[in-house]
């Protein structure tokens, strides 16, 4: 059995990966662990996904693994990849290869299998991903990936322009890795990112959406907007108009993009870095409708009437084309739609906000209300210093929402203490749209604090309303 020799890291290769290496080597082939596991192990971070590269052609690889009793799935044979499954874990095993041209700027038109693992490493994107590890032979690091890990640098392998021209999505991957690991981007690689960002035009929107979500999940989208705006704006072109856009307002200290960066950063502070993905999307998009709604008053001050509504429409279009889940889109855009809605620290105002959020994202009103307070607080502290007082008002609002939650907040018709059968019985009408209209009116009365949500009070209101209309 192969014994791990990676003694200077906290994590060793799992036994199932070592078994794959052992079978391949006992059959006369070379094999190395590559990619993310090596990178993360050197950083002292756990990683359960293990990839192996080997001198064996995929057919030979499948044959010897199956002969050893290992389940093999032929998952990517055109590129020399099979997936071995043992102990309930999947291990991708790929033949050493080099790649030809990338006419679609995403996938190689052809691959050529080679005999030297160093040639395989040369095709990879970044130095921190171009290392190979063998439990007995140690670390193979021809591009100084370990040095870049220690220095906190994302650097392309070889010519960065060539790397990004091969696969346009790599510009976003570079930013995602930098955000995830808290690294900076090496200068030549950074320049190439700016020059090659337009290559995202050739990438499927779904893949762009996945990468943007990955960046947002790191909590460092503010860093990405500040340091790599060309890349992020190429991924989401609608953000471009926000760059340098003067708000012409005494309430704002920053242009729209700078303000957005501050809001994104503040959301992370106010949530201790565990903001939901839809809140992070909302922070990114909350003012995206401003450039198109600017109007200047007689005093030369800027106003953005209707920008939250337009922003929510734009957000749904952006997230929709990226193929993101409707549940994610609805919640993010509900926050965008109502982030600037006037609210006061009163029960009535909070109930109205809950009702609006429930209508926009059914079933999520209470959680969204707390996140709305966070977004509003981040928005307030990212304006002029004189706006910071509003955070105190927002604390009062959050307390009211918690109390509503404790008492059983009424945000939908189904929360009422009576239902459709009661309306039919009391009014003597048949089932139909009228029943829903009556219940909606009762819901509004409860939200406005005019009627208590008890069976007796609602039936009394129902009877009183019926008498008025006779």
pLDDT tens by residue, 291-314: 999 999 999 999 999 999 999 999
Residue 255: the pLDDT is 95
In a domain, 106, yes or no: yes
In a domain, 259, yes or no: no
| Domain's final residue, options 121, 151, 181 | 151
CATH for 80: 3.30.460.10
* Whether the predicted pLDDT of 67 surpasses 50: yes
Backbone phi, then psi, for 93, in 5-degree steps? -125, 120
Percentage above 90 pLDDT, the chain: 69
| 272 contacts: CB under 8 Å, gap ≥ 6 | none
| Co-location of 335 and 391 in the same domain | yes
Instruction: Indicate left, alpha or beta for 337 from its phi (over 0: left) and psi (-120 to 50: alpha).
Output: alpha
Residue 453: the pLDDT is 85
Q: Strand, helix or coil at 48?
A: coil
Burial class (CB in 10 A: 0-12, 13-18, 19+), 270: middle
* Whether the predicted pLDDT of 174 surpasses 70: yes
Alpha-carbon radius of gyration of the chain: 29
Q: Provide the domain limits for residue 354.
A: 267-407
| Co-location of 165 and 204 in the same domain | yes
Residue 188: the pLDDT is 98
| Domain's final residue, options 365, 383, 407 | 407
| Co-location of 303 and 211 in the same domain | no
Q: Strand, helix or coil at 37?
A: helix
∠270-322-255 over CA atoms, to 5°? 45
| Co-location of 147 and 157 in the same domain | no
Average pLDDT rounded to a whole number, residues 20-24: 97
| Co-location of 140 and 226 in the same domain | no
Q: Using the CB atoms, write b or e for 92-109: b if 16+ within 10 Å.
A: bbbbbbebeebeebbebe
In a domain, 253, yes or no: no
| Co-location of 100 and 36 in the same domain | yes
∠11-12-16 over CA atoms, to 5°? 130
In a domain, 243, yes or no: no
| Domain's final residue, options 151, 183, 206 | 151
Strand ordering across the sheet containing 71-76: 71-76, 81-86, 89-95, 50-54, 31-34, 132-134, 138-140
Instruction: Indicate left, alpha or beta for 173 from its phi (over 0: left) and psi (-120 to 50: alpha).
Output: alpha
Listed range (201-205, 339-343, 460-464) with the worst mean pLDDT: 460-464
Residue 405: the pLDDT is 82
Write out pLDDT tens, residues 116-165: 999 999 999 999 999 999 999 999 999 999 999 999 999 999 999 999 99
| Co-location of 38 and 160 in the same domain | no
| Co-location of 25 and 121 in the same domain | yes
Q: Quick one: which of 301, 304, 278 has its CA closest to 367? A: 278
Report whether 127 contacts 148 (CB < 8 A): yes
Q: Write down the residue that tokens 């620290």 correspond to.
A: 345
Residue 236: the pLDDT is 98
The terminus-to-terminus CA distance of the chain in angstroms comes to 90
CATH for 203: 1.10.110.30
pLDDT band at 109 (very low <50, low <70, confident <90, very high): low
In a domain, 8, yes or no: no
Q: Which has the higher per-residue pLDDT, 51 or 5?
A: 51
**DSSP class of 34:** E
Residue 252: the pLDDT is 87
| Co-location of 292 and 386 in the same domain | yes
| Co-location of 126 and 179 in the same domain | no
pLDDT band at 56 (very low <50, low <70, confident <90, very high): very high
How far apart CA 66 and CA 23 sit, in angstroms, is: 10
Residue 105: the pLDDT is 53
Q: Roughly what angle, to the nearest 10 degrees, separates helices 307-321 and 326-338?
A: 160
CB count in 10 Å sphere of residue 408: 8
**DSSP class of 156:** B
CATH for 443: 1.10.246
* Whether the predicted pLDDT of 440 surpasses 80: yes
pLDDT band at 374 (very low <50, low <70, confident <90, very high): very high
Q: Quick one: which of 109, 104, 158, 155 has its CA closest to 128? A: 155
| Co-location of 88 and 168 in the same domain | no
For the chain, the domain total comes to 4
In a domain, 75, yes or no: yes
Q: Using the CB atoms, write b or e for 296-323: b if 16+ within 10 Å.
A: eeeeeebebeebbebbbebbbebbeebe
| Co-location of 442 and 463 in the same domain | yes
Average pLDDT rounded to a whole number, residues 333-355: 93
In a domain, 250, yes or no: no
Q: Write down the residue that tokens 């929360």 correspond to.
A: 415
* Whether the predicted pLDDT of 103 surpasses 90: no
Sign of the C-alpha dihedral, residues 440, 443, 448, 449? positive
């Amino acid at each position: 059995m192969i014994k791990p020799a990676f003694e200077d890291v906290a994590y060793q290769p799992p036994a199932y990966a070592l078994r794959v290496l052992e079978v391949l080597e006992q059959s006369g082939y070379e094999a190395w662990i590559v990619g993310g596991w090596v990178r993360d192990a050197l950083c002292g971070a756990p990683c359960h996904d293990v990839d192996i590269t080997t001198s064996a052609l995929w057919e030979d690889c499948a044959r010897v693994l199956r002969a050893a009793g290992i389940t093999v799935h032929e998952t990517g044979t055109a590129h020399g990849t099979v997936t071995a499954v043992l102990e309930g874990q999947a291990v991708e095993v790929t033949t050493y290869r080099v790649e030809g041209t990338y006419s679609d700027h995403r996938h190689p038109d052809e691959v050529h299998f080679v005999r030297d693992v160093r040639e395989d490493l040369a095709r990879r994107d970044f130095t921190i991903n171009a290392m190979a590890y063998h439990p007995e032979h140690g670390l193979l690091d021809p591009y100084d990936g370990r040095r870049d890990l220690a220095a906190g640098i994302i650097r392309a392998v070889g010519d960065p322009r060539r790397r990004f021209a091969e696969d346009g999505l790599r510009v976003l991957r570079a930013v995602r890795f930098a955000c995830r690991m808290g690294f900076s981007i090496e200068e030549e690689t950074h320049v190439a990112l700016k020059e090659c960002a337009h290559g995202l035009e050739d990438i499927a929107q779904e893949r762009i959406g996945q990468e943007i979500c990955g960046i947002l999940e790191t909590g460092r989208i503010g860093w990405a907007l500040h340091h790599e705006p060309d890349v992020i704006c190429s991924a989401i072109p609608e953000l471009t108009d926000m760059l340098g856009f003067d708000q012409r307002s005494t309430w704002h200290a920053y242009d729209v993009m700078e303000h957005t960066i501050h809001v994104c950063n503040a959301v992370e502070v106010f949530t201790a870095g565990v903001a939901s993905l839809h809140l992070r999307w909302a922070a990114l998009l909350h003012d995206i409708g401003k450039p198109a709604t600017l109007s200047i008053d007689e005093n030369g001050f800027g106003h953005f009437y209707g920008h939250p509504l337009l922003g929510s429409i734009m957000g749904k279009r952006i997230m929709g084309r990226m193929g993101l889940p409707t549940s994610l889109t609805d919640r993010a855009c509900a926050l965008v739609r109502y982030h600037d809605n006037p609210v006061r620290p009163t029960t009535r105002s909070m109930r109205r906000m809950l009702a609006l959020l429930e209508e926009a994202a059914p079933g999520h009103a209470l959680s969204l209300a707390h996140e709305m307070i966070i977004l509003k607080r981040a928005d307030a502290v990212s304006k002029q210093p004189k706006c910071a007082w509003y955070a105190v008002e927002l604390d009062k609002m959050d307390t009211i929402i918690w109390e509503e939650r404790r008492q059983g907040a009424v945000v939908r018709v189904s929360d009422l203490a009576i239902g459709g059968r009661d309306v039919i019985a009391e009014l003597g009408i048949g089932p139909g749209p009228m029943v829903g209209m009556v219940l909606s009116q009762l819901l509004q009365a409860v939200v406005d604090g005019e009627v208590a949500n008890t069976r007796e009070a609602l039936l009394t209101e129902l009877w009183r309303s019926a008498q008025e209309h006779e």
